[in-house]
Amino acid sequence: MTDQLSQLKKSIGSRVRLARKMADLTQEDLGAQVGRSTEAISNIERGVSFPPIETLAAIARALNVELAGFFQTRDGQRSQRRTELEIEIQLKVAAMEGDRAELALKLIDALRE
């Protein structure tokens, strides 16, 4: 169970970091928006600490992403880079309007063939 919790903390931290970078915010900026210190944001992003759900909800609002997206997990068989790519794609598609998201899906389907 401890290993699963550790993986979850790291996964959530990676998603927070990627979403923050996509929003072009520093850790200090994000911390100020959600009422947390820069160190607290750093600890979340590195998977050192697991924030309360209220803090994650505030982070999701500040970064304009879905809270549930922070909890999507991957199996342990994927490389760290592959996981980061999937997270980045997911966050970018989630931020798109409907028509653009459908176009992105068609492009991904075309690349798979």
CA distance 26 to 5: 26
> Residue 18 — pLDDT band, cuts 50, 70, 90?
confident
Report pTM: 0.71
**CB contact at 8 A, 31 and 41:** yes
The pLDDT tens digits for 76-108 are 556 667 777 877 887 788 888 889 999 998 999
CA distance 56 to 74: 19
Q: State the greatest distance between any 2 C-alpha atoms of the chain, in Å, as a whole number.
A: 46
Q: Which two tokens stand for residue 5?
A: 């919790």
pLDDT, average across residues 108-113: 89
Least confident of 58-62, 63-67, 90-94: 90-94
Residues with Cβ within 8 Å of 28's Cβ and at least 6 positions away in sequence, in order, are: 38, 41
Domains and CATH numbers, the chain: 2-112 (1.10.260.40)
